[in-house]
Amino acid sequence: MKAARIIGPEESLQIQHLESQPKGSQLRIDVNSFGGCCHYRDKFDIIVSILDAANGNEVKQIEILVRANITHSLFKEYLFFIYQNGLIEYMQSQRTYRTTMKGIRFLSFYNKMRTLI
């Protein structure tokens, strides 16, 4: 498994899938250091990270995987939902993805809701 950043000797990284949740729905990442944190990614967080990675740009699949920090299998799992709901489009001639206007509106609403919480 690749780390998103270099971890110093004073830190430990643990990634675990929460057993009580459906597969791929929530991921817990603990980074323990002087100011350690816990980060949970639910389905909406993952969808938003995919849409944000392809936001208005024509990007290849590998770029989405890297920017969204997800695996290929997780991407395929969410791509079906995102594509079926018209949030992302696939340009077959260039083999790239782009967030649609509907997807951009979804990102905007999502970000507004996050500021309210």
> 48 and 37 in one domain?
no
Asked if residue 58 is part of any domain, the answer here is yes
> 89 and 33 in one domain?
no
Pick the range with the lowest mean pLDDT from 26-30, 46-50, 61-65, 87-91.
26-30
Pick the range with the lowest mean pLDDT from 10-24, 40-54, 61-75, 90-104.
10-24
> 34 and 74 in one domain?
no
Domain count, the chain: 2
Which residue, 102, 45, 89, is CA-closest to 68? 45
What pLDDT, on a 0 to 100 scale, did the predictor assign at position 56? 72
> 105 and 52 in one domain?
yes
Cβ atoms of 54 and 102 within 8 Å: the answer is no
Domain at 48, CATH number: 1.10.10.10
Give the mean model confidence (pLDDT) for residues 81-89: 95
- Phi and psi dihedrals of 73, rounded to 5? -65, -40
Quickly state the pLDDT bin for 13 (edges 50, 70, 90): very low
Question: Which structural domain range is residue 88 located in?
Answer: 44-109
